[in-house]
A and B are shown apart, each in its own frame.
Chain A
Amino acid sequence: MIARNYRITAPYQFEVQVDLIEAQDNEAIVRTEAGAICKADLRYYTGQRERKILGLKYPLCLLHEAAGTVVKDRTGKFKPGERVVPVPNVIDPESCANCSQKVCEDPALGENYCPAAKFASSSADGFSREYFTYPVDYLVKIPHSVPTELAVMAELISVANAATRRLPLSGKEKVIVFGDGILGFILTSVLLFGGIEDITIVGGSEKRLANFPVPVKINYHTDPLPQPQFDLAFEAVGGGASEAAFESISQVLRPGGSCCLLGVAEEKIRINSRIILEKGLCFAGVTRSSRNDFVKAMNQLTDEKFASLIKSSIIAEAAVGDVVDFKNEFEYALSHKGFGKRVLRFNF
C-alpha cells in the first residue's frame, strides 16, 4: 500500500511524503497512533548536528517514542488490533553472524550498544508515518490496562531501565539525580519503584522540581551542594549545562562513587579529571535501550501507582491531523520550558 509520512528535509522544514509499505517475512504492518517529541528530535529539527551529519540524515521521519496498532502480521505473532510499542533500536539478525564484539551478551551493555543496530529517527526512519513495517521481534505488546498515551512513555522508561542495568543497584545506595527534565523525572520514578529509598534530585526550576516524588530537592541556583556522601549519581542534564553538572556530580559523590551519564551534550565539554582521579570515581554512559528494557517498562506501567506517576508527566494530548500541526508541535516543544511533555495523537 501507499502511506503518508512527515519527513524533515532541512532544518525547520517538514514535508508530506508517501512511501510504499511492503512487509518482509519477519515484519508486521503497524498504524501509528501516538508519539512524543524527544530532545534528539529537536536537534534534528533545529539542525543542531554537524552539517555533514545532517546531510547524511535528511530526509528523515522523526520520533522514536511511539505507540501503534498492528493492522497486519503474516508471522502470526500479533493479531490485527493489538496495540504495540516499537523498540527503536533494531539489529538485523544477519549482522550477528560476523560479529566479533557481542556486546549484546553483556547485560550491562546490551543490544543498544550493537554497532550494527539501526535506530529509528536517526539511522532509519522514525515513526511520524501513517503506517510502518517493523520486525515483530521489536514490537512489544501493550497490556490492556495501559492506555496508548501512557505506552508512548515506554521509550523513556526503557532508557531509565537501561541506566539501572549499567549501574546495578542493591536498593541501599544513596542516590542523587541531576536534571529536573522529563528524563530526570522518569529516571527518578523508575529508581523509586525499583526500591531505592534515598534519592536526592538536583534541578534548576522550583516548578519542575515540585513534581518530583522525592523529599530532598536541591535548586542549584539557590541551594548549596550537599556533602560528598552519594554512592551513585545519575546525570540527566545534557546540553550546555552538562559541564557544570559533571563538575557538581564529581563533588557530591563519595570516594569510589559511580555515575551514569544519560544527557547528550552536542558540544565537547571539559572534565575535571583531577577530582575523578583523587576520588577514584567511575563514570559510565548509557544511551538508548534494548527490547528487554521495553518489556520491563510495560510491566512497570501495569502498576497503578507507577502509571499514575508517569501519567503526571503528560501535560496534554495534541491532535496532529496534518504537517502544519506536526511542525507546530515541534515549535511548542522547543519553547516549552516547564515540566512534562505532550503526546501527539496522529490522524493522517
Chain B
Amino acid sequence: MNVAMILAGGVGKRMGTGEVPKQYIDIYGKPIIVHTLEVFDLHEEIDGIVVVLSQQWQTEMKTWLRQYDLNKVICLAEAGETRQASIYNGLCALDGRASEDDIVLIHDAVRPLLSRRIISENIEAAKAYGAVDTVIPSADTIIKSTDGSMLHSVPLRKELYLGQTPQSFKYGLIKAVHEKARADKIADASDDCQLVIRYGHQVKLVQGDKLNFKITIAEDLLLLKALLKLGKREEVS
C-alpha cells in the first residue's frame, strides 16, 4: 500500500492572510489543499491519504472531501505543536492500517504543483531504498553565514540541492525513527530525512522540479495565480 500524508498544520504567519492559514486560501474556487489532495487522489499508485491538520479545520475538511469527490482520504490526524509531532500523529493514525513495507509519502499541503512523475519516482525509490528525498539542484550560489551579517563560507554549488517534498519512506522505518527520536528527546526536527540519516539509514534522491514550489509567502501565492492565469485562454475557431 502507498499512503500519502498531507501536512496541513501550518498557520501561515508569513502570508499576511489574517486568520486563514495558507493551505486553506482559495485559488480559483478551491482551497490550495484541495488542489494538492487531487493530485494524490487521481494518482493510480496512491491507495490512501492521511491529512494532518488542526482540530478547528476538520469540519471544513470533511465538507471538502465530499464536495470535491476526494475518495482516497482514509483518516484525518490532528496536527501537533511541531512538524515532527504532526508527522508522528499521522504515522500513529496509520497504526493497524499500514504494514512495515508500505510506503508513506509525506507532502506539504502548500505544494499543489506536484507532478505525477515525482510521486511515481518517490514510490519506486522508496520501495528500493526505504527512504527518499525530493530535491532540485541549486541554481544559485549558496552562502553560509553564521551570524547573518558576514559571509562565512561558500559551499560547492554542485554538491548542493534544495529539498522539496514528498519525502517518502517505508512505514516501518519512518515510524521506528520517530519513536527513537522521541526516546532521545528530539522534538523539533524540521526534516524527516535528517532524522533518518541521524539513525544511520541512507536516503535516495529523486529529482523534483521548480514548479513544485512551496507557497510560503505572499509572493509565492502571486506566482501560483500568475501561472494559472497564463494557462487560461479564449477558445478560437
Chain A contact residues, CB within 8 Å of chain B: 1-2, 4-5, 7, 16-21, 29, 31, 56-57, 59, 69, 71-72, 74, 80-81, 118, 123-124, 130-131, 321, 347-348
Q: In the complex, are the beta carbons of B231 and A18 less than 8 A apart?
A: yes
Q: In the complex, are the beta carbons of B231 and A5 less than 8 A apart?
A: yes
Shortest CB distance A119–B (Å): 9
Q: A1-B38, A2-B35 are in contact. Are A31 and B231 (CB under 8 A)?
A: no
Shortest CB distance A27–B (Å): 13
Q: In the complex, are the beta carbons of B117 and A321 less than 8 A apart?
A: yes
Q: How far, in angstroms, from A7 to B28 measured CA to CA in the complex?
A: 21
Q: In the complex, are the beta carbons of A18 and B42 less than 8 A apart?
A: no
Q: In the complex, are the beta carbons of A2 and B112 less than 8 A apart?
A: yes
Q: In the complex, are the beta carbons of A118 and B235 less than 8 A apart?
A: yes
16 A-B pairs whose Cβ atoms sit less than 8 Å apart in the complex: A1-B35, A2-B112, A7-B231, A16-B211, A18-B227, A19-B232, A56-B236, A57-B236, A69-B44, A72-B69, A74-B69, A124-B235, A131-B42, A321-B117, A347-B116, A348-B116
| Residues in B neighbouring A1, C-beta threshold 8 A | 35, 38-39, 42
Chain B contact residues, CB within 8 Å of chain A: 28, 35, 38-39, 42, 44, 69, 112-113, 115-117, 120, 211, 227-228, 230-233, 235-237
Q: How far, in angstroms, from A74 to B113 measured CA to CA in the complex?
A: 24
Q: Which chain B residue lies CB-closest to A22?
A: B29
Q: How many A-B residue pairs have CB under 8 A?
A: 62
Q: How far, in angstroms, from A118 to B237 measured CA to CA in the complex?
A: 7
Q: How far, in angstroms, from A1 to B30 measured CA to CA in the complex?
A: 9
Additional 6 contacts, C-beta under 8 A, given A31-B116, A80-B44, A124-B235? A2-B113, A29-B42, A31-B42, A57-B236, A74-B69, A118-B237
Q: In the complex, are the beta carbons of A123 and B237 less than 8 A apart?
A: yes
The listed residue (A16, A18, A123, A130) touching B228 by CB distance below 8 A is A18
The listed residue (B116, B120, B211, B237) touching A18 by CB distance below 8 A is B211
Q: Which chain A residue lies CB-closest to B38?
A: A1
Q: Which chain B residue lies CB-closest to A321?
A: B117
Q: In the complex, are the beta carbons of B117 and A20 less than 8 A apart?
A: no
Q: In the complex, are the beta carbons of B228 and A2 less than 8 A apart?
A: yes
Q: How far, in angstroms, from A20 to B35 measured CA to CA in the complex?
A: 9
Q: In the complex, are the beta carbons of A4 and B211 less than 8 A apart?
A: yes
| Residues in A neighbouring B231, C-beta threshold 8 A | 5, 7, 17-20
| Residues in A neighbouring B227, C-beta threshold 8 A | 17-18
Q: How far, in angstroms, from A347 to B120 measured CA to CA in the complex?
A: 9
Q: How far, in angstroms, from A81 to B43 measured CA to CA in the complex?
A: 10
The listed residue (A17, A21, A74, A347) touching B230 by CB distance below 8 A is A17
Q: A5-B231, A56-B236 are in contact. Are A18 and B113 (CB under 8 A)?
A: yes
| Residues in A neighbouring B35, C-beta threshold 8 A | 1-2
| Residues in B neighbouring A72, C-beta threshold 8 A | 42, 69
Q: How far, in angstroms, from A66 to B28 measured CA to CA in the complex?
A: 29
Q: In the complex, are the beta carbons of A4 and B236 less than 8 A apart?
A: no
Most buried by B among A1, A5, A124: A1
| Residues in A neighbouring B69, C-beta threshold 8 A | 72, 74
Q: Which 7 A-B pairs have the closest CB atoms?
A: A1-B38, A19-B231, A71-B42, A17-B231, A56-B236, A347-B117, A123-B237
Q: Which chain A residue lies CB-closest to B116?
A: A348
Most buried by B among A18, A69, A131, A347: A18
| Residues in A neighbouring B112, C-beta threshold 8 A | 2
| Residues in B neighbouring A124, C-beta threshold 8 A | 235
Q: How far, in angstroms, from A36 to B228 measured CA to CA in the complex?
A: 26
Q: How far, in angstroms, from A348 to B112 measured CA to CA in the complex?
A: 15
| Residues in A neighbouring B116, C-beta threshold 8 A | 31, 130, 347-348
Q: A71-B44, A72-B42 are in contact. Are A20 and B113 (CB under 8 A)?
A: no
Shortest CB distance B117–A (Å): 5
Shortest CB distance B71–A (Å): 9
Q: Which chain A residue lies CB-closest to B35?
A: A2
Shortest CB distance A323–B (Å): 11
Q: Which chain A residue lies CB-closest to B115?
A: A348
Q: How far, in angstroms, from A59 to B42 measured CA to CA in the complex?
A: 27
Q: How far, in angstroms, from A113 to B235 measured CA to CA in the complex?
A: 19
Q: Which chain A residue lies CB-closest to B233?
A: A59
| Residues in B neighbouring A2, C-beta threshold 8 A | 35, 39, 112-113, 228
Q: Which chain B residue lies CB-closest to A123?
A: B237
Shortest CB distance A115–B (Å): 9
Q: How far, in angstroms, from A56 to B237 measured CA to CA in the complex?
A: 8
Shortest CB distance A123–B (Å): 5
Q: Which chain B residue lies CB-closest to A130?
A: B116
| Residues in B neighbouring A20, C-beta threshold 8 A | 28, 228, 231
Q: Which chain A residue lies CB-closest to B42?
A: A71
Shortest CB distance A149–B (Å): 18
Most buried by B among A2, A4, A5: A2
Shortest CB distance A214–B (Å): 39
Q: In the complex, are the beta carbons of A123 and B115 less than 8 A apart?
A: no
Q: How far, in angstroms, from A56 to B228 measured CA to CA in the complex?
A: 20
Q: In the complex, are the beta carbons of A130 and B42 less than 8 A apart?
A: no
The listed residue (B28, B44, B233, B237) touching A81 by CB distance below 8 A is B44
Q: Which chain B residue lies CB-closest to A74?
A: B69
The listed residue (B117, B228, B236) touching A348 by CB distance below 8 A is B117
Q: Which chain B residue lies CB-closest to A1?
A: B38
Q: How far, in angstroms, from A130 to B232 measured CA to CA in the complex?
A: 16
